C-alpha cells in the first residue's frame, strides 16, 4: 500500500465518521416510542442503537455479498485482497470511531466501557489492515457478525420500547440465536483456529491473534448473558430492580 492509497483510506475513514454523525443527527428527528419519551435517560441509548442498526444492516450485507461474489478470497485469508473488502474496513472503522466518540462525549464511558474496549481493539486492528493490506479477508469474515447484530439490535430496541407483541419478540429471539451461531460464533471459531494454526505469532500476526483471543472471551461472555436473559431467566443474578437505561451492552 503506497502513501497515496493510505491517504485515500484515511479520507474514506473520515468520510465514514461524518456519515454516521449525519445519521445520528437524523435519528434525532425520528419519532420515539412512548416508553423512550417518558424516560429521558433512554434517549441517547435509543438514538445510539438506531445508528448501530444502520451500520449492522449496511456492513453485514456488504460483507456477505462481497464474500459471496468472491469466494476465492477464502482460500487466502492472509494475503487475499479486494477493493470491496478494503472499502468495507474503512467504512466500519469510521463507525467504530464515531461510536466511541458518541459514547465519550455523551458521558456514557462508565456504563458502556465494554464497547470502548471492543472498539479500541477493532480500530487498532483495522488500521493495521489498512496500512499493510494484509488480513483483509479475516476482517471481512469478522464483519459477518454484523448480520447477527441486526437481530441483536432489534431485540434491544424491542425491549426498550416495551412493545406489547410477545410474538414479535419471541420470533426475533429464536432468529437472533440462530444468527448468533451462524454469523458470530462460527466465523469467530474458524478464524481463531486458522490464526492459531497458520499465522506466525510475531509482528502483526501476534497482535491480531491477541485481539482475536480477547474477542473470543468477550463473545462467549455476551453469549452467556443472552442465554440467561432470553432462555434461562431463572439463572440471572443481580439484575432485579437495576436501572440499565444508560447502558448500551446486553446485560438485561
Q: End-to-end distance of the chain based on CA atoms, in angstroms?
A: 44
Q: How many CA atoms lie within 13 A of 62 on its CB side?
A: 23
Res 237: pLDDT: 61
Res 204: pLDDT: 93
| Tens of pLDDT, residues 31-81 | 999 889 888 778 999 999 999 999 999 999 999 999 999 999 999 999 999
Note the pTM of the prediction, 2 decimals: 0.91
Residue 246 confidence (pLDDT) above 80 = no
Burial level of 200, CB count in 10 A (0-12/13-18/19+)? exposed
Distance between CA atoms of 165 and 159, rounded to whole angstroms? Answer: 11
Q: Is residue 77 within 8 Å of 2, Cβ to Cβ?
A: no
Name the pLDDT band for 6 (thresholds 50, 70, 90): confident
Res 241: pLDDT: 39
Where in the chain are the domains? 4-27+39-229
The residue-averaged pLDDT of 175-204 equals 95
CA angle 147, 152, 154 (to 5 degrees): 100
| Tens of pLDDT, residues 154-173 | 999 998 988 767 889 899 99
Q: Is residue 223 within 8 Å of 180, Cβ to Cβ?
A: yes
Interacting residues of 213 by C-beta distance below 8 A, sequence separation 6+: 192
| Tens of pLDDT, residues 195-245 | 999 999 889 999 999 999 999 999 999 999 999 999 988 776 654 434 444
Distance between CA atoms of 239 and 49, rounded to whole angstroms? Answer: 21
Three cell numbers, residue 20: 454516521
Residue in this structure with the C-alpha cell 458521558, named with its chain if needed? 107
Res 252: pLDDT: 43
Burial level of 170, CB count in 10 A (0-12/13-18/19+)? exposed
Residue 143 confidence (pLDDT) above 60 = yes
Q: For the chain, give the number of residues.
A: 252
Amino acid at each position: 500500500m503506497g502513501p497515496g492509497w493510505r491517504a485515500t483510506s484515511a479520507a474514506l475513514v473520515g468520510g465514514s465518521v461524518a456519515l454516521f454523525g449525519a445519521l445520528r443527527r437524523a435519528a434525532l428527528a425520528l419519532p420515539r416510542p412512548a416508553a423512550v419519551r417518558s424516560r429521558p435517560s433512554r434517549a441517547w441509548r435509543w438514538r445510539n442503537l438506531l445508528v448501530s442498526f444502520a451500520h449492522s444492516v449496511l456492513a453485514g450485507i456488504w460483507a456477505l455479498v462481497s464474500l459471496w461474489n468472491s469466494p476465492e478470497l477464502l482460500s487466502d485469508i492472509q494475503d487475499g485482497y479486494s477493493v470491496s473488502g478494503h472499502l468495507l474496513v474503512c467504512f466500519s472503522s469510521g463507525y467504530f470511531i464515531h461510536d466511541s466518540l458518541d459514547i465519550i462525549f455523551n458521558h456514557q464511558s462508565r456504563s458502556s466501557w465494554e464497547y470502548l474496549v471492543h472498539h479500541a481493539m477493532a480500530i487498532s486492528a483495522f488500521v493495521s489492515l489498512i496500512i499493510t493490506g494484509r488480513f483483509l479477508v479475516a476482517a471481512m469474515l469478522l464483519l459477518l457478525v454484523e448480520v447477527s447484530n441486526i437481530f441483536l439490535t432489534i431485540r434491544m430496541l424491542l425491549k426498550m420500547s416495551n412493545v406489547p407483541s410477545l410474538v414479535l419478540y419471541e420470533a426475533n429471539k429464536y432468529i437472533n440465536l440462530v444468527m448468533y451461531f451462524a454469523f458470530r460464533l462460527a466465523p469467530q471459531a474458524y478464524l481463531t483456529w486458522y490464526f492459531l494454526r497458520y499465522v506466525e505469532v510475531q509482528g502483526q500476526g501476534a497482535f491480531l491473534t491477541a485481539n482475536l483471543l480477547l474477542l473470543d472471551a468477550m463473545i462467549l461472555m455476551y453469549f452467556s448473558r443472552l442465554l440467561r436473559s432470553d432462555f434461562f431467566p431463572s439463572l440471572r443474578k443481580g439484575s432485579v430492580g437495576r436501572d440499565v437505561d444508560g447502558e448500551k451492552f446486553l446485560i438485561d
